[in-house]
């Protein structure tokens, strides 16, 4: 788990080195601009980690995908199969990375969207976005040699929704949070 956190922080730092001088959030003199910078850096880090894989030429990638479809290699389409396996053969590190990590890593997505954008504050929008990003990632992972697991999709979706619920709780407790959204 530690190595994932270090990688995420390195990627976020690299993104901020480019983002901050380009966007210059200090000129806006608003908390929202800094939160947006953190959100962009985190999401770039999340996508960079989730989309690490083996990229091939399109023809080679098509052959590779056809072979995976035929063999079923690295594909789990049975809901809760992997999650139940993590509980049956419990290892704290594996549980933290594969279950808790898949939830926690998507909480900023569900929290940040309604925090920053008014149009993303509806239940329908939260559900759509909390599902769309994990579907995009799992679909892409299929083509780049990563495992494809419906349980990752379920856990990522749950993380996005929990992030939105956390946003609602914070909005209720902290005056002015709702005013950050544009």
Domain count, the chain: 2
97 and 18, same domain (yes or no): no
- Is the residue at 131 inside a domain? yes
- Is the residue at 132 inside a domain? yes
119 and 41, same domain (yes or no): no
Residue 175's pLDDT band (cuts 50, 70, 90) = confident
75 and 150, same domain (yes or no): yes
83 and 156, same domain (yes or no): yes
Proportion of the chain above pLDDT 70, given as a percent: 100
* 135-168: pLDDT as tens digits: 999 999 999 999 999 999 999 999 999 999 999 9
- Is the residue at 56 inside a domain? no
Residue 65 has pLDDT above 90, yes or no: yes
91 and 144, same domain (yes or no): yes
Q: Tell me how far apart the alpha carbons of residues 128 and 161 are, in angstroms, rounded to a whole number.
A: 10
Residue 85 has pLDDT above 80, yes or no: yes
Residue 2 has pLDDT above 90, yes or no: no
Provide the residue range defining the domain that includes 140. Answer: 64-180
Share the mean pLDDT of the chain. Answer: 96
115 and 175, same domain (yes or no): yes
Whether the Cβ atoms of residue 153 and residue 83 lie closer than 8 Å to each other: no
Mean pLDDT on 116-133: 96
109 and 166, same domain (yes or no): yes
Q: What is the pLDDT of residue 47?
A: 98
68 and 46, same domain (yes or no): no
């Amino acid at each position: 788990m530690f190595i994932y956190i270090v990688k995420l922080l390195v990627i976020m730092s690299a993104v901020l080195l480019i983002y901050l001088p380009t966007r210059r959030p200090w000129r806006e003199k608003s908390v929202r601009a800094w939160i947006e910078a953190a959100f962009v850096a985190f999401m770039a880090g999340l996508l960079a980690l989730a989309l690490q894989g083996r990229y091939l030429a399109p023809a080679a990638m098509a052959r590779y995908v056809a072979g995976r479809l035929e063999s079923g290699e690295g594909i789990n389409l049975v809901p809760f199969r992997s999650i139940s396996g993590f509980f049956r053969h419990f290892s704290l590190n594996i549980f933290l990375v594969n279950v808790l990590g898949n939830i926690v890593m998507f909480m900023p997505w569900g929290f940040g969207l309604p925090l920053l954008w008014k149009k993303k504050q509806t239940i329908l929008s939260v559900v759509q976005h909390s599902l769309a990003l994990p579907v995009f990632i799992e679909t892409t992972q299929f083509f780049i040699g990563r495992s494809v697991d419906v349980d990752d999709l379920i856990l990522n979706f749950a993380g996005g929704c929990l992030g939105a619920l956390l946003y609602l709780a914070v909005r209720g407790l902290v005056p002015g949070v709702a005013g950050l959204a544009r």
